Structure 1
Amino acid sequence: MSKLKELSAKGTAVWLDFVDKQFLDAGGLKKLVDEDGLTGVTSNPTIFEKAMGHGTAYDAGLAEYDRAHPGASALDRYEWLAAADIRAAADTLRPVYDRLDAKDGYVSLEVSPTIALDTDATIAEATKLWAMVDRPNLMIKIPGTDAGAPAIAATIREGINVNVTLLFSQAAYARVAEAYAMGLEERVARGEPIDRIASVASFFVSRIDSTIDKEIDRRVGEGDPESDALKALRGKAAIANAKMAYQWYLDFLKSDRWRSLAAKGAQPQRLLWASTGVKDPAYPDTLYVDQLIGPDTVNTMPPQTMDAFRDHGTVADTLTDGVDEARRVLAEVERLGLDLDAVTSKLVDEGVASFVKSFDDLLGSIAAKHPANA
C-alpha cells in the first residue's frame, strides 16, 4: 500500500497543494487519486501566478475568452482561467466526494488577497466565485483575519464550503472555528440543512519554525546566556503549536454547542496542516507530515513533499503523542522571550502581503497577454 494511503488510514487526509492546466490535462490529479488515495486540492495566488504567469499553457484559452469578451479586465480573465482549472479538478474529485458523502473530495479557490481586511467584499467575492465554479465540492478560501471571521460565518450560513487560510495562532483558529459553528447555527435557525456543508481550518506550520529559528540563531550567534536552551527549541515550536491547536479542537468537539450541531448532522471543521514543505535542510523533509498524523485532519502537501513522504515518510499516530512535551516547548518559547504571539501576528501580515504581491504579479502577467500573442 502507498504510504500516502496508509496516512489516510490513520485519519490524515492527503491533499495536494498545487494545480495547473498541464498537470490536470495530463491526468496527474487522477493518478494521485487512484494510486495514492488523494482526496483534495488546494490552490493559492502564488500557485496560480507560477502556473499562469509563466509559459504558454494558458494562452489559447485566454485568447478564446478574449474573443468572446473583448475589453475584459485582467481580474475577469484570471477568474475565468482559475475557475476552469478548479472546475476540472473538482470534476476529477467528484467520485471521491460522492463516495465519502460530502465529507471529502474538495478543491479550494481563494478570494482575492487584496480584500483580506474587508468583510463585505470577501463575502461578495466568495459568493461570486461559488456561483462561477458551480461545483458542490468547491471550498472558498478565506483568510483567518479579524475581518475574515464574520465573512466565514456569513458564507457558511449561505451554504458555501469554506477553507479558512493563513491561520498561525491558536487564538485565531478558535475564533474561526466558532465562526463556522455560528454559520451552521444560523442555518439551523432558518430551518436549513447543515449535513453537507464542509470546512477546514488551514493551520500553517513551517513558517513559524523559520521565523523563530532565525531569531534563535541570531541570539545564539550573539552569545546569549540561554544559548543551550534556545538551540534545544529549534524546529519544535511549530509542531508544538499545531498539537495544542488540535487539543483545542478535541475539547470543542466535546462541548454542548458542538454536540447540538453534530446531532443535526454537522461535519467537524477539520484542521488542515498547511505550509508543510520543509525549508531548513537540517530537518527531515517529511517533518511536518510525520509529526502531525491523527484523526479528522488534512495535510496539504506541495508535490515534492508528497513525493518524499511516499518514498520515506513515517506513518504513526503522532498528533496526540507528546502533548505534555508540546506544552513544555511552548512554555520555554514564552520563558525565553521568543514571543510566539508577535510571530504569528507578523506571519499573518506577511502572508497576506505575499499573496497580494503574487496576485498583482499574476494580473500583470495576464494583462500583458493579448489574443495576438496566443
Structure 2
Amino acid sequence: MNEPCSMTLTNPLCELARFGQSPWLDFIQRSFTENGSLKRLVDQDGLKGVTSNPAIFQKAIGQGSEYDARIRQVLAERTVDAAALYEILAVEDIKAAARVLYPVYEASRHIDGYVSLGVSPHLAHDAIGTLAEARHLWKRVDAPNLMIKIPGTEAGGEAVRTAIADGMNVNVTLLFSLEAYKKVLDAYMAGLEARHAQGLPVSGIASVASFFVSRIDARIDASIDARVAAADPDARVLENLRGKVAIANARMAYQYWREVTQGARWRKLAALGAQPQRLLWASTGTKDPAYSDVLYVDALIGPETVNTIPPSTFAAFRDHGTVAPTLTQDVPGAARVLHEADRLGLDLAGVTEALLHEGLGAFEEAFHALRDSISTKISSLKPH
C-alpha cells in the first residue's frame, strides 16, 4: 500500500508538486468515487482534480449495469427522457467527485480541487446556447470547485468571456493550435476585465486551457511515415521529427503564457487578485507503442500547469515516471522543431484544425451513443 503523499518522495506523482504541476485524472465513474478509489489517489498520489468528457460518461453510464439501480429509482419517481436522465446521473457523479476533492480546493486556496463537466458538444458553434447551458449546469451542480468545460471554438471563446465575467470556473477544451490558445487566453482576461468593470471581484475564479498533445504526434507521425515509405528526399530529417512536434507545440504555448503573465495587462489583473489561467496538458496517453508510455507527462513538467492523465498513464507514471523541469528545457530546440515541420510541409496548422473538428465529432458521436444507451435502458428498466 502506498504511503500518503506528504510522507514520501518516492512517488513521481507526488513529486510533481515540487515543480509546480498538478496531476489531474481524466476519468470519472460512480463506483470509483463511492468505493474510495478516488480519495486514495488524492491521499496517496497527490491527485488534484478530475476531468470528464462525453466519451468517459458513455463508458461509465452507457455500458454495463452499474447505474441500473439508480436509473430504476429515477424512473419509478418520474418520467424522463434520455437527455434529462443523463443530466441527473452526470450531475450526481460530478457532485460526488467534487465533495471528495473539496479539501484539495480548500488547501490549495482554490487553485486545485476542481471537477470538470462539459456543455453539450452539439453547442460547439453556438455561443448563446453554450452560455445558457453553462449557466444551467453551474446552478445544477452548485459546487464552488466545479469547472464548466467549453470547447475552444470561435463561439466557445465568446461564451468563455461571458462565463468568466459571470464568475464561473471554466475549462476550455480541445485546444490544438497556438493561435486558438492565444484567443482563449485573451477571452479569459477580457472576461476578468469585464467583471472588474462591473465592480465585481475577480479573485477566486479559476480557469484552465486544455491543450491537446499526443493526437498531434499521431497525425504528424503518420504523415512522416508515409513520406519516408515513399522515399521522400527529406526522409532522414523527417524521421528525426517523429514524436517531437506535439511537445514542441506545447512548449511554445507555455512560452507564450509566460510572456503574457509577465505583461502589464496581466499584472493589473493579478494585482486585483486574479488567478492565471493555467495550461492543462490533455491527450497525454501515448498512442505510439514505440514511445515511452509516460512521454507526454515526462516531457511537459513545469510551474503553474496541470496534466490531466488517463488512468493507465497515471499508474505508469506512478511506477516509472521521471520528474524534472522539462517544460522549459531547450525552448530554442522546440522552436527549431516547429520551423522544420513548417519548412518540410507537415502542415501543423491544417492538422490542428482537422483535429479540432474530429475531436468535436468524436464527442458528438460519444454523446449520441450515450443518449442511445440511456434510451435503451429507459425502455428496459422502466416499471411496467
**Structure 1-normalised TM-score?**
0.99
Alignment deviations for residues 59-114 of structure 1 (CA, whole Å, 9 cap, x no partner): 111122222221x1211110110000000000000011111111111000011101
The answer to whether structure 1 residue 89 and structure 2 residue 84 are counterparts is no
Distance 1:9 1:89 in 2: 25
Which residue matches 1:18? 27
Matched, 1:233 2:241: yes
* 2:305 maps to 1:297: yes
Select which of 122, 129, 132 maps to 2:140.
Answer: 132
Number of aligned residue pairs: 373
Do the aligned residues in 2 keep the contact of 1:63 with 1:371 (CA within 8 Å)? no
Cross-structure match for 2:359: 351
For the residues of structure 2 that align with 1:116 and 1:30, how far apart are their CA atoms? Answer: 33
| Selected match of 2:164 from 156, 170, 178 | 156
Maintained 8 Å contact 2:82/2:378:
no
Identity of aligned residues (%): 57
Structure 1 position 325 matched with structure 2 position 333: yes
Match in the other structure for 2:6: none
More divergent stretch after superposition (188-197 vs 363-372) = 363-372
**Deviation per residue, 1:267-302 (Å, 9 max, x gap):** 000000000000000000000000000000000000
Structure-2 separation of matches of 1:238 and 1:177:
20
Is the contact between residue 67 and residue 371 of structure 1 (CA under 8 Å) also seen in structure 2?
A: no
Within a 5 Å distance, the mapping from 1:1-374 to structure 2 comes to: 1=9, 2-70=11-79, 72-370=80-378, 373=381
Gaps of 5+ in 2: 1-8
What do residues 113-149 of structure 1 show as CA deviations (whole Å, max 9, x unaligned)? 0111100000000011111111000000000001100
Change (3 A) 1:342 1:371: closer
Q: Tell me how far apart the structure 1 counterparts of residues 282 and 264 of structure 2 sit (CA, whole Å).
A: 29
Amino acid at match of 2:14: K
Contact 1:164 1:201 in 2 (8 A): yes
Alpha-carbon distance between aligned partners in 2 of 1:130 and 1:297, rounded to the nearest angstrom:
24
Rounded to whole Å, the distance in 2 between the matches of 1:100 and 1:221 is 51
Question: Contact between 2:163 and 2:170, CA under 8 Å: does it hold in 1?
Answer: yes
Amino acid corresponding to residue 348 of structure 1 in structure 2: L
Aligned-residue CA RMSD (Å)? 0.9
Kept after mapping to 2: 8 A contact 1:66/1:371: no
Give the CA deviation at 1:372.
Answer: 5.3
Tell me the CA shift for residue 251 of structure 1: 0.2
Amino acid at match of 1:12: Q
Distance 1:138 1:346 in 2: 30
Please tell me whether the aligned partners of residues 157 and 187 of structure 1 are also in contact (alpha carbons under 8 angstroms).
yes
In structure 1, give the amino acid aligned to 2:196.
Answer: V
- Whether the 8 Å CA contact 2:71–2:381 is kept in 1: the answer is no
Contact 1:166/1:351, CA 8 A, preserved across alignment: yes
- The separation in 2 between residues aligned to 1:355 and 1:8, in whole angstroms, is 31
CA distance in 2 between counterparts of 1:237 and 1:370 reads 46
Give secondary structure in 2 for the equivalent of 1:107: strand
Amino acid at match of 2:94: I
TM-score, normalized by length of structure 2? 0.96
Q: Quote how far apart the aligned CAs of 1:370 are.
A: 2.4
Following superposition, the deviation at residue 371 of structure 1 comes to 7.2
| 1-structure distance, mates of 2:372, 2:219 | 30
Tell me by how many angstroms 1:37 deviates.
0.8
Other structure's SS at 2:326 match: coil
Q: Do 2:24 and 2:49's aligned partners in 1 also have CA atoms closer than 8 Å?
A: yes
In the alignment, residue 223 of structure 2 is paired with which amino acid?
A: E
Counterpart-to-counterpart distance in 1, 2:83 and 2:268: 42
Moved over 6 A (4+): none
CA distance in 1, matches of 2:174, 2:182: 13
CA offsets 1:187-232 (integer angstroms, 9 cap, x no match): 1011111110000000000000000000000011111010001100
